[in-house]
Each structure stands twice: as C-alpha cells, then as structure tokens.
C-alpha cells in the first residue's frame, strides 16, 4: 500500500459525459457557464463535448457554439470527443482544442456489435483507417482505450487473458503503422469492477505493458467508484477521469441506475485528505458542482458539495477555539 | 493487500440508524415489515431500534411494539440500543433480544459535552457505573466503541495518540472492574475517515490491542464509505456495521448531507464479487432495500438495488447465449 502517488492528474469529463446523458435540453449558455467555472478550479484537462452525430446524441448539437464561446484559460487543455473523420475534421477547425487519436478497443464483441455495428475484424480495420487518417492530418495517436474492461452487461465477465490479447494485438497493429502508444485508458463502462479487480487488471497491464501510463475511467453505478479509484491509487495510478457532481453515464449501456462517473470533488477530497496533490481547488470544484446541480435541475450523486469539505470544518473549529 | 478476510460478519443497523433519522413518522407496521424482511436475508445481526428517551428521539417511541411484533428467525441475533439503566432494564424485559454492555468512548470532548452533557471525567465515572449495573444484572460487557474516531465536526481532527490513550485508559478501567473486552468498534460518526486513515488507525489498534476484534462503523457522507470499508478489509477487518438502502446518519451530528451509513447491499455486492462470503442473499437484501425506500418515501442512497446485481446480468447473458 506504499505505492500511493504523490499527485494525480484529473481529466474532467462532466460537460461531455454529464450533459450527454441528461434528458432535458440544457441551454448552451448554461453549458458554457459550467465549463468556464471548471476552468477556474485548477483542473488541467476538460472534455467539453462530443463531435458526434446529433441525430444519435441530440444533446451535443451545440458543441460548435460551446467551443466558440467558452473562455480559454491558459494551462488548461480542452478536448472534444470524436468518433469518425467528420468529427476529427470538426475538432481540427478549432485551434483552442487539443486533438489526438486513440485506439478504441472493445473486449466485448457483443457491445461492439450493438454500439458500433462492427465485428472485431471490421473494428480493427477501422482502427487502421483511423491511424492513417490521423497521420494524414498530423494528429498524434498516443492512447489505447479498453472499454468495459471488467465486464459487460451484454457479454458478462471479461477475462484478463482477453484484455491482454486485445492489447497485444493493438500494440502490434500500432507498431505496424509506426505509432507509439503512451497511455492506456482502462474503462469500467458498465460498473463491473471491484477494488480487487482493479488491482488485478492494473497490475497485469503494468507488468505486461510497462511503458504505458494507466488512466482509469470509473463509474459509480454500484457505489464502488471511489473504492475502485482508491484501489487504483494503491497501484500507483496517477490519471483519473471524473465528472463534476458525479454527472454522467453512458446512454448506450442501458443502466437502470442513475449514477455516472466518479465525482470529481469527492475524488479530490479523498486524494487531498490522503496527501495526494490534485492541483484542484476543492472549494471552487464544490461551487462548480452546485452550479452543475442547478443547471441539470435534479439532485446529483456527488456527496462532498452537500456535506461540506473537512477544511471548511477545520477552519470553523479553529475560529471557535 | 493479501489480508482480505474469507468472510465478514455484517451488523445490520438500518431499522435503528435509519428510522431514527427519518423526519416523517413511519408506522410500526412498516418498521416490523422491514425487520421481518431483513430477518430473511441471511444477515445474522439486526439492531431493531433504541430504548432511548422518546422526547429526544420520537421516532423510537414504538420500539416496545416493534420488539413484541417482529418475527424471530432462529440464528438471527436481535438487539436494541440502550444508553442508561432505564433502557437496559427495558431491553432485559425481552428474552428475544441479545443484550450486552459497551464502553462508549468519546475522543472528542466537545461532542461528549454537546451530545451527553458530560466532561471526560464524568463520562469515565458513568462507564464505571454502567459496568457495575451490568454486573448486577448479569449482562456481559464485551465491547468498547470509539465514536468519531477520525475527526469531529466540533473538535476537528482526532489524533492516533488520543485514540490510543483513550483505549489504554478504557482497558485499564475495564480490567479494574474485572471486565474483559473482546471487541473494539471504531466509528467514523461524522465521515472524516479516508482509506489511508482507516488503515493507519486500524493498524495501530491491531498492533496495540491485538486481543480485540475490530469492527468498523462507517458513514458514506462524503462518498468514501465503501472505499473505507475496502481499506478495512485489506487490514483483515471482518466485522462491519451497515444499513439496508444506506439509511441512517446521526441526528445529533448536524450533517448537512443526507447520506448515512454504508449501504448493506452495496457492501454485500462488493464483498461477494471479491470472493468474501457475507452469508447474505443479495437478491433478498435488494428486495429489503426496495421495501425500505417505499417505507421512507424518498430516494435512498444505495446503488445496487437500482443498478441491479451482476449475477442477475450474468444469468441473463447466459440465458441469451
């Protein structure tokens, strides 16, 4: 347990994951307000939306406007999710966006078929085409992302062997195309992970692919989000996706529960209280969380913005003494 | 991390912790229905209410009726919280209740004053009186309980040194009275604990007082409930308090947030998925959680009863294949 990192890098995905799943239409003004608030929290990476087909994801139809209107704070990296050539070309229209390519890997062939309409072979071909496209457009491909790495609602448990084979194939494919991957995102898309599964999978990936930085994308759908994040920290993981207020969830995963990604301010509190620097101002993130709750118009899963930070209590106790 | 226990003992406190904090009056019928449902889940310990002053805790005024009417399932231990001679004598009227005494220890002198109206010296005297009373009534005193062991909203952080001193004094006091303690409950009453704090405090207590079984009482107010429980598991802790549906919280702790104790069914899911036997039937506990939500009449914090179990999905996937 001595492997806790000294600091972590937080990738804020609230605007993208969060707004994507909200049923009610949110105004572009509100979305920009939240992104601008997040820009002032100290978080260094914000994903602000998706360049995806607005017929499939209507809540992302205004992403051009968002990108044009959001305030760019120096030192903060803004990104937009894209899935195809059209999305990539859109992203490249905006110099304020950080754009890179990723190899998307689907351990669940069933989900790949349902979500993307492809066989594994067709998908590998698509990944090659994506690399070629990125090369032609001077976009670096640095990341592999394992979706539903711990289990899938349509395929069941995912074995470590399958993950390792998929990654070995992906690295071979990347190498064949002259691409050197740097980061491996392990996503618990459908909330199947337990802390021990996190330790097992992260440990195996670190052993087998030591040159890749691990990044965890965790969902709190079964209440284990922070437990899984803590398990990742004990393995030395330093990169975590999270969503302000705990917004989010994947609209295609057919979750019955409402909970989305791990909550940024809860994760920040846990890290900072354990002496792990996040670079995030917790009070500012709690304020952004309150704004997010106001904007979505329903209770959000995050805890800390309601319960208050411990530093706030410490200050009150000290003042009273 | 190899110290995960093979099994855990769950102390279900939903009826007591949960119903105590609910604003609306719940009917005795409903409370008995929930207790009877819990009795069928496989959980072996259920705290069904408190024999406390109904002027302070009006929601517990019907506890006599509850004890008389609840169904007693063989193998399940039923208990009622009591705080003074009157409460203890009430509990002893019911042979269906398991009754024992505990040394309550308050690291926060401020909370002790606010909650009990006593100085530490007065409280130590009360503990001696309680032991004498138990001796006279043939009630075993086996447990010490550290309240707010990780921090207090009125006193701030609690040092490990203070906890150790308090426990050393308590053990000396107990020994002086001829009492042999067997269990130490460490309670994070106001949700100040982090996983690392759990490991530090549990580790120190195990080192210093190796003959005491540790039991953790955790709150999820800042979202770290299961992360803290996992940290306890990694230290070999085998006893955990929890509440069905995540009901609960202490009405005197003045929490702004709504979250109470760790949620029984979420904890059961986490343990069972990691190969730790709980003896609890998860489906039955999820059904009890749905009943609890219906009874309290508002959304409850638990996740799994909404998201569904993984075994349910596995069965569906297998059937579809």
Domain count, chain B: 2
pLDDT at A57: 83
CB contact (8 A) between residue A195 and residue B274: yes
- Identify the bridge partners of residue A7 per DSSP, sorted by sequence position: A277
One domain for residues B203 and B104: yes
- pTM score: 0.96
Q: Residue B225: inside a domain, yes or no?
A: no
- Interface A–B counts its CB contacts (< 8 A) at 136
- Domain containing A139 — which CATH number? 3.20.20.70
* Pairing status of strand A151-152 against strand A156-157: antiparallel
Q: What confidence tens digit (pLDDT) does each residue in A30-62 have? A: 999 999 999 999 999 999 999 988 888 888 889
Q: Residue B196: inside a domain, yes or no?
A: yes
CB contact (8 A) between residue B220 and residue A269: no
Q: Residue A232: inside a domain, yes or no?
A: no
CB contact (8 A) between residue A314 and residue B156: yes
pLDDT at B263: 96
Q: Within 10 Å of residue A17's Cβ, how many Cβ atoms?
A: 24
Which residues of A belong to the active site?
250
Q: Residue A81: inside a domain, yes or no?
A: yes
CB contact (8 A) between residue B230 and residue A234: no
One domain for residues A52 and A140: no
One domain for residues B192 and B251: no
From the CA of A97, how many Å to the nearest CA of chain B?
33
One domain for residues A193 and A108: yes
One domain for residues A40 and A115: no
* Pairing status of strand A9-12 against strand A45-51: parallel
Q: Which residues of A touch B225 (CB under 8 A)?
A: 223
Q: Which residues of B touch A269 (CB under 8 A)?
A: 222-224
Q: What confidence tens digit (pLDDT) does each residue in B204-233 have? A: 999 999 999 999 999 999 999 999 999 999
Q: Residue B229: inside a domain, yes or no?
A: no
Residue B256 pLDDT > 70, yes or no? Answer: no
Q: Distance (Å, rounded) from C-alpha A241 to C-alpha A10? A: 6
Residue B251 pLDDT > 50, yes or no? Answer: no
Q: Residue A223: inside a domain, yes or no?
A: no
Nearest CA in chain B to A320: B154
Domain end position, chosen among A212, A230, A257: A212
Q: Residue B218: inside a domain, yes or no?
A: no
One domain for residues A106 and A148: yes
State the average pLDDT over residues B158-168.
97
pLDDT at B249: 55
From the CA of B186, how many Å to the nearest CA of chain A?
19
Residue B9 domain boundaries: 1-99+243-321
pLDDT at B301: 86
pLDDT at B134: 97
CB contact (8 A) between residue A307 and residue B222: yes
One domain for residues A156 and A187: yes
CB contact (8 A) between residue A307 and residue B153: no
Q: Distance (Å, rounded) from C-alpha B313 to C-alpha A155? A: 9
Please state, rounded to an integer, the average pLDDT across all residues of chain B.
Answer: 93
One domain for residues A206 and A297: no
pLDDT at B2: 55
Nearest to A230 among B230, B273, B275 (CB): B230
Which residue has tokens 């039937």?
Answer: B281
Q: Within 10 Å of residue A98's Cβ, how many Cβ atoms?
A: 15
Which residue has tokens 């990780």?
Answer: B150
H-run or E-run covering A114: helix A109-116
Which residues of B belong to the active site?
250
One domain for residues A133 and A90: no
From the CA of A316, how many Å to the nearest CA of chain B?
8
Three-state DSSP class for residue A196: helix
Whose CA is closest to A35, among A63, A61, A7?
A63
From the CA of B275, how many Å to the nearest CA of chain A?
10
Residue B257 pLDDT > 60, yes or no? Answer: no
Q: Which residues of A touch B156 (CB under 8 A)?
A: 313-314, 317-318
Share of chain B above pLDDT 90, in %: 83
**Least confident residue range of A110-124, A251-265, B160-174, B238-252:** A251-265
Residue B302 pLDDT > 70, yes or no? Answer: yes
Domain end position, chosen among B170, B195, B211: B211
Q: Residue A228: inside a domain, yes or no?
A: no
- The string of DSSP letters for A124-164 reads HHHHHHHHHHHHHTT--EEEEEETT-SEETTTEE--HHHHH
One domain for residues B92 and B116: no
One domain for residues A129 and A205: yes
What does each of the 321 residues of chain A score in pLDDT, given as a tens digit?
Answer: 457 999 999 999 999 988 887 766 789 999 999 999 999 999 999 999 999 888 888 888 899 999 999 999 999 999 999 989 999 999 999 999 999 999 999 999 998 998 889 999 999 999 999 999 999 999 999 999 999 999 999 999 999 999 999 999 999 999 999 999 999 999 999 999 999 999 999 999 999 999 999 999 999 999 999 999 999 999 999 999 999 999 975 444 444 445 689 999 999 999 999 999 999 999 999 999 999 999 988 888 889 998 999 999 999 999 987
Domain end position, chosen among B187, B211, B235: B211
One domain for residues B198 and B127: yes
pLDDT at A249: 56
Helices and strands (H and E) in chain A: how many: 13, 10
Chosen from A4, A158, A227, A278 to mutate, greatest number of chain B CBs within 10 A = A227
CB contact (8 A) between residue B194 and residue A314: no
HEC string of chain B?
Answer: CCCCCCECEEEECHHHHHHHHCCCCCCHHHHHHHHHHHHCCCCCEEEEEEECCCCCCHHHCCHHHHHHHCCCCCCCEEEEEECCHHHHHHHHCCCCECCCEEEEECCCHHHHHHHHCCCHHHHHHHHHHHHHHHHHCCCCEEEEEECCCCEECCCEECCHHHHHHHHHHHHHHHHHCCCCCCEEEEECCCCCCCHHHHHHHHHHHHHHCCCCEEEEECECCCCCHHHHHHHHHHCCCCEEEEEHHHCCCCCCCCCCCCCCECEHHHHHHHHHHCCCECCCCHHHHHHHHHHHHHHHCCCCCCCHHHHCCHHHHHHHHHHHC
Sheet containing strand B101-105, strands side by side: B77-82, B45-51, B9-12, B239-242, B213-217, B183-187, B141-146, B101-105
Q: Which residues of B touch A153 (CB under 8 A)?
A: 313, 317
């Amino acid at each position: 347990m001595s492997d806790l990192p000294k600091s972590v890098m937080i990738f804020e995905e609230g605007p993208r994951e969060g707004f994507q799943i909200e049923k009610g239409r949110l105004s572009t003004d509100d979305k920009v307000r939240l992104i601008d608030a997040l820009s002032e929290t100290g978080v260094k990476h914000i994903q602000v939306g998706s360049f995806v087909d607005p017929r499939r994801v209507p809540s992302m139809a205004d992403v051009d406007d968002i990108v044009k209107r959001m305030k760019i704070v120096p030192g903060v990296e803004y990104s937009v999710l894209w899935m195809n050539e059209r999305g990539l070309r859109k992203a490249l229209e905006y110099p304020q966006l950080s754009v890179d390519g990723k190899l998307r890997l689907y351990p669940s062939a069933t989900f790949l078929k349902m979500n993307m309409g492809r066989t594994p072979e067709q998908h590998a071909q698509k990944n090659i085409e994506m690399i070629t496209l990125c090369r032609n457009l001077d976009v670096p491909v640095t990341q592999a992302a394992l979706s539903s790495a711990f289990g899938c609602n349509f395929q069941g448990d995912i074995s470590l062997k399958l993950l390792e084979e998929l990654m070995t194939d992906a690295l071979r494919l990347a190498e064949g195309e002259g691409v050197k991957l740097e980061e491996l995102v392990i996503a618990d898309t459908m909330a199947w992970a337990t802390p021990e599964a996190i330790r097992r999978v992260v440990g195996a990936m670190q052993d087998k692919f030591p040159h890749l930085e691990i990044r965890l994308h965790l969902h709190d759908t079964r209440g284990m989000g922070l437990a899984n994040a803590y398990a990742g920290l004990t393995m030395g993981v330093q990169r975590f996706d999270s969503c302000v207020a705990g917004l989010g969830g994947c609209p295609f995963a057919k979750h019955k529960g409402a909970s989305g990604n791990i909550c940024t301010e809860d994760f920040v509190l846990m890290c900072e209280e354990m002496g792990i620097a996040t670079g995030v101002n917790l009070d500012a993130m709690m304020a952004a969380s309150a704004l997010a709750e106001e904007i979505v118009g329903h209770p959000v899963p995050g805890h800390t913005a309601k319960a208050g930070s411990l530093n706030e209590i410490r200050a009150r106790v000290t003042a009273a003494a």
